[in-house]
Amino acid sequence: MQLITNLKDKVMQLGCRVVTSAMNLIKNFDWAKTYAFVLKHKKRIIIILIVLFAANYAYDKWMPKSAKKAPPQLVTTTVVATADTPVIIEATGTIIAANIVDIRPQTTNVVSKIHIKEGQAVKTGDLLFTLDDRASRANYEKAKALADDATRQYNRSLELIEKKFISQAAADSSKANMQSAVASAKAAEVALSFDHIRAPIAGRAGVINVFPGSLVQAGTNISTTSSATSTTTTGAMVTITQLDPINVQFTIPEKEIPLILAGREAGEELTVSVDVNGTDKAVEGTVYVVDNQVDPAIGAVRVKAQLSNKNGAMIQGQFVRIKLKAKTLKDSLVVPTQAVVTNTKGDHLYVVENANTVALKPIKVIYQYQGQTVVTGVNAGDKIVVEGKQNLRPNGVIRETSGAGK
């Protein structure tokens, strides 16, 4: 510790001596003698300055520039390519059923038999429920018997009128009776059919809300009331959802509407790619409707697309990620996004010129997606700098690395 203290003192003393000597030198400097010396030897001083200037000029003139420049900048380059680039709009949406039907009774009755199971796939026309049809069947059979008798009476009246045993009025009355009886029989048949509930669409049955013996009533409200003696259900007995094909609904910002309209005007089909959680492969589909109005609350328009769902992987209400192909940019100039240089004057590219120098060219960015950028302002086949542009300047010299694109 004492050694360090002594060393510090010596350094301080040496510094003070240097400062003192410099101050004394400036104070004792004879400016008059210096001025007189310059006046006396001014010709020699001018000759020395001229020689120094000429030597510097000769060095700039005859020495190679490469010997004075900084070493070339190592860069990686690629070539501007042309390609048909799809314009992709990403969104999130919800799976919705193409058709969904709540099965409700059209008459008040008691459930006699259930012919399906929960979650079962059904086809159009499959028998779902049978209600107690004893009264309805008896009414139908009675109406059918009366219709058959009225038909026989009318046919007999036709035979009698040919023999002029009855008047035309009597025959017309018999015909009216027959038509009325047949209509009553058809009405009774329709009433009987209400006791045999069938699937109006193909799809998958949901949770069954009734049991054999349950009293069901016609209505639109879904409710189930249980007591110590019975269970009464009003509304949906079961819900059938069509799962194949199935729809996806999502929204896109109103600023993207011109892209969709431009694609449609060009005759392009709007397609979607849907990523579903739990599946390895995206599902492809086609847009079939774009809403005719923008929701002012969110500044977006609703879009629906139809998807194939043969394996049943998608169900109603599922959250999905969507990529909508709005249009295709034909023969567009495509460059890597990392090659674009953005500054206060806009977007630029370093283009390689002859003699391995670069020029900073202004460009216009048309579209960017997943590391690729569509631009204008350069030509197809131009070689541009992708990596190593951080320290580049216009007219700078470059040297391509072994990984440079050709």
The reported pLDDT for the residue numbered 72 is 83
The reported pLDDT for the residue numbered 21 is 67
Mean pLDDT of 281-302: 89
- Residue 137 scores a pLDDT above 60: yes
What's the pTM? 0.61
83, 369, 396 from 80: Cα distances, Å: 10, 16, 20
Mean pLDDT of 69-73: 73
- Residue 5 scores a pLDDT above 70: no
The reported pLDDT for the residue numbered 249 is 94
Q: 63: pLDDT confidence band, cut at 50, 70 and 90?
A: low
The reported pLDDT for the residue numbered 301 is 92
- Bigger pLDDT: 357 or 59? 357
Give percent above pLDDT 90 in the chain. 33
- Residue 199 scores a pLDDT above 90: yes
- Residue 404 scores a pLDDT above 50: no
- Bigger pLDDT: 224 or 132? 132
The reported pLDDT for the residue numbered 173 is 86
The reported pLDDT for the residue numbered 405 is 47
Mean pLDDT of 79-96: 90
The reported pLDDT for the residue numbered 406 is 46
Ordered structural domains, the chain, with CATH: 2-62 (no CATH), 73-85+331-400 (2.40.420.20), 105-128+199-238 (2.40.50), 133-194 (1.10.287.470), 246-329 (2.40.30.170)
- Residue 85 scores a pLDDT above 80: yes
The reported pLDDT for the residue numbered 255 is 86
Q: In this predicted model, what pLDDT tens digit does every residue of 226-283 receive, in sequence order?
A: 554 445 545 689 999 888 889 999 999 988 888 888 777 777 788 899 988 767 788 8
The reported pLDDT for the residue numbered 394 is 86
Q: Which residues contact 98 (CB under 8 A, 6 or more apart)?
A: 242, 245, 246, 247, 306
- Residue 117 scores a pLDDT above 70: yes
The C-alpha atoms of residue 367 and residue 389 are separated, in whole angstroms, by: 22
Q: 212: pLDDT confidence band, cut at 50, 70 and 90?
A: very high
The reported pLDDT for the residue numbered 234 is 52
The reported pLDDT for the residue numbered 326 is 84
- Residue 110 scores a pLDDT above 60: yes
The C-alpha atoms of residue 310 and residue 284 are separated, in whole angstroms, by: 13
Q: Look up residue 251 and give its amino acid.
A: T
Q: 115: pLDDT confidence band, cut at 50, 70 and 90?
A: very high
- Judged on CB neighbours under 10 Å (0-12, 13-18, 19+), 25 is exposed
Least confident of 9-13, 61-65, 332-336, 377-381: 61-65
Q: In this predicted model, what pLDDT tens digit does every residue of 310-350 receive, in sequence order?
A: 887 888 888 999 999 888 888 999 999 999 999 888 999 99
The C-alpha atoms of residue 406 and residue 403 are separated, in whole angstroms, by: 9
